[in-house]
């Protein structure tokens, strides 16, 4: 089975203007980024141009936190994929639970955003995850299935899924290793049904939700957990680097 290269993504949410972005990235570029791990940071839109300049020629990738489904038009407050590509952005997050809960994103708009982003040349990190009420009602897998129903329209070679249980985001309460592995393995089974066994084996599924140095090693060691989408702990360069090293260790474990 092909080993999947771990992917560690920092989702900074609405944190770090240009000055703080520069300070973080200068420190990150001094740090030893393990070659076995792919690293991406997703600053707010306004910090992207400066981040792109600082990251030129480095191994650290740059992502946006959202992207629209059209290339231009009367969509106040939105940003289009070609605008991101022009800056040097190569990744976009879509469907984060904060977008779904606070800004009205639906499974349909999430897939439309993802499809346009891919068509323009971006790699997409598509977020899914159940609420606490849904988990307690035993509906976790049904919710995940509904959230990925439209992804057959997407290119699996330029897609990453991020399983982020809503109850674990920003709460300090991460999913257990068993909960994460169960959801990831089930997602991979569904991906095989949609894309075929080979593409499903190659597609990376990230875990997100209170991922931090204290729990990263055990979560990232799970067979179907291929990296992390990190909020709070990605804002501090030392904790972000510690998670990168844990991801590198999990990759070494797979290879040996
Ligand atoms: P936290 O790591 O702060 O829980 O956030 C996770 C997240 O939402 C990443 O997209």
* Distance between CA atoms of residues 141 and 130, nearest Å: 8
Closest CA to 33 of 250, 247, 252: 247
From 42, 125, 166, 170, the mutation candidate for ligand 1 (largest count of ligand atoms within 8 A of CB) is: 170
Q: What is the pLDDT of residues 17-37, one digit of tens each?
A: 999 999 999 999 999 889 999
For residue 250, the model assigns a pLDDT of 87
Number of neighbouring beta carbons within 10 Å of residue 141: 15
Contact indicator for 92, 84 with CB cutoff of 8 Å: yes
**C-beta of 82 in contact with ligand 1 (< 6 A):** no
Q: What is the pLDDT of residues 103-126, one digit of tens each?
A: 999 999 999 999 999 999 999 999
Find the catalytic residue in 96, 98, 130, 184.
96
184 is catalytic: no
**112 phi, psi to nearest 5 deg:** -65, -40
Token output for 129 = 């995850």
Distance (Å) of CA 77 to CA 72, 107, 122, 195: 12, 20, 20, 34
Q: What residues have CB less than 8 Å from 70, skipping those under 6 apart?
A: 80, 116
Task: Please compute the mean of the pLDDT values over residues 236-245 and round it to a whole number.
Answer: 98
Find the catalytic residue in 98, 105, 130, 164.
164
74 CA to middle of ligand 1, Å? 31
Number of neighbouring beta carbons within 10 Å of residue 71: 12
From 97, 164, 173, 239, the mutation candidate for ligand 1 (largest count of ligand atoms within 8 A of CB) is: 164
């Amino acid at each position: 089975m092909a080993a999947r290269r771990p992917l560690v993504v920092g989702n900074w949410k609405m944190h770090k203007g240009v000055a703080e972005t520069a300070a973080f990235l200068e420190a990150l570029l001094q740090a030893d980024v393990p070659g076995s791990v792919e690293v991406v940071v997703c600053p707010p839109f306004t910090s992207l141009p400066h981040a792109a300049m600082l990251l030129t020629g480095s191994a650290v990738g740059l992502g946006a936190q959202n992207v629209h489904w059209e290339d231009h038009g009367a969509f106040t407050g939105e940003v289009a994929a070609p605008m991101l590509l022009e800056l040097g952005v190569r990744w976009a997050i879509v469907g984060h639970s904060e977008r779904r809960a606070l800004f009205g994103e639906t499974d349909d708009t999430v897939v439309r955003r993802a499809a346009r982003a891919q068509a323009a040349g971006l790699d997409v990190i598509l977020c899914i995850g159940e609420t606490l009420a849904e988990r307690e009602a035993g509906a976790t897998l049904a919710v995940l299935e509904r959230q990925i129903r439209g992804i057959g329209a997407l290119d699996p070679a330029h897609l990453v899924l991020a399983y982020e249980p809503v109850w674990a985001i920003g709460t300090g309460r991460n999913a257990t290793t068993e909960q994460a592995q169960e959801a990831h393995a089930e997602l991979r089974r569904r991906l095989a049904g949609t894309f075929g066994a080979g593409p499903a084996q190659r597609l990376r599924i990230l875990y997100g939700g209170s991922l931090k140095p204290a729990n990263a090693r055990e979560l990232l060691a799970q067979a179907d957990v291929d990296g992390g989408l990190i909020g709070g702990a990605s804002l501090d360069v030392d904790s972000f680097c510690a998670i990168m090293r844990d991801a590198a260790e999990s990759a070494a474990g797979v290879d040996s």
